Amino acid sequence: MNNNQPLFYEEYGEVSSPPLIILHGFFASARNWRQIAKKLAEYHHIYILDMRNHGQSPHNSLMDYPTMAEDIVQFLKSKEIRRANIIGHSMGGKVAMYLALNNPDIINKLIVADISPTSYQHSFDEIIQALKSIPLAEINNRKQADDFLSGAIPELSFRQFLLQNLVLNEGHYQWRINLDFFAANADNIIAFPAINSFNPYLDKVLFLGGGNSKYIKEDDVYSLFPNADIQKIENAGH
């Protein structure tokens, strides 16, 4: 069975410029990277992708790093891009790392933002349950949805980020994402495929971490990306 998904994308910059693919994180979408893409478009031909089950891309019950990486391979083929520069943040960074480890020839330069090839221990269960608990049939505006979320998720900016997935359709609010698919695949997103199946990626990779974030695990990075350059952005989070 072919599980590859044709991905929605936004495009910026001149076609003659070097291609740069931007891969977003879990619960995000291409729109979160628009402002950065517009700035980088001076130097690159930018494609920001909506990963499967995110944004305007199709939904699929399977969401793990091998299948998402293969989505990128097929996207590059569809655009006749033989080698690309890639920026991946969080989940998108894991997709990019998996791609580099399995298809190194299609990577030109790689930047991984605030993530490492690590199976983390946190859980998305509370976030997903909080989103599911919003009574969509009863709310009339986004402020009401935000109020419902505020008890479980106190950080306003994070609530606003999550609520970008709430859309108004014919007068009724609904989720753009399939929360059941997110719940079923959350463990795949937290994990990283077993490292003993990979040869290290020997080219240089820039790992950019937030100074206030603890997502980059240096030992895990260097075990698979021995020529990594790990840099921190002070006072930045995830």
Candidates 90, 114, 116, 146; catalytic one = 90
Candidates 17, 213, 220, 238; catalytic one = 238
> What's the predicted TM-score (pTM) here?
0.95
Known active-site residue 90: yes
Sign of CA dihedral 81, 82, 84, 90: positive
**Nearest residue to 165 via CA among 197, 192, 130, 120:** 130
What's the pLDDT score for residue 1? 40
Q: Domain boundaries in the chain?
A: 9-120+191-233, 125-186
Q: What is the pLDDT of residues 215-225, one digit of tens each?
A: 999 999 999 99
Report DSSP state, residue 18. P
Known active-site residue 180: yes
Q: What is the pLDDT of residues 133-162, one digit of tens each?
A: 999 999 999 999 999 999 999 999 999 999
Instruction: List C-alpha distances in Å: 150 to 125, 131, 143, 172.
Output: 16, 11, 10, 21
In three-state secondary structure terms, 33 is helix
3-state secondary structure 76-93: HHHCCCCCEEEEEECHHH
Q: What is the pLDDT of residues 87-123, one digit of tens each?
A: 999 999 999 999 999 999 999 999 999 999 999 999 9
**199 conformational bin, left if phi > 0, alpha if psi -120 to 50, beta if neither:** beta
What's the pLDDT score for residue 3? 67
User: Which percentage of the chain shows pLDDT scores above 90?
Assistant: 91
Known active-site residue 122: no
Sign of CA dihedral 110, 112, 116, 122: negative
**Could you say which architecture CATH assigns to the domain 9-120+191-233?**
3-Layer(aba) Sandwich (3.40)
- Write the DSSP assignment of 117-175 as a string of letters: S-------HHHHHHHHTS-TTT--SHHHHHHHHHTT---HHHHHHHGGGEEEETTEEEE
Average pLDDT in the chain:
95
For residue 205, list its beta bridge partners: 228
Candidates 125, 147, 180, 203; catalytic one = 180
**Nearest residue to 50 via CA among 21, 78, 9:** 9
What's the pLDDT score for residue 149? 96
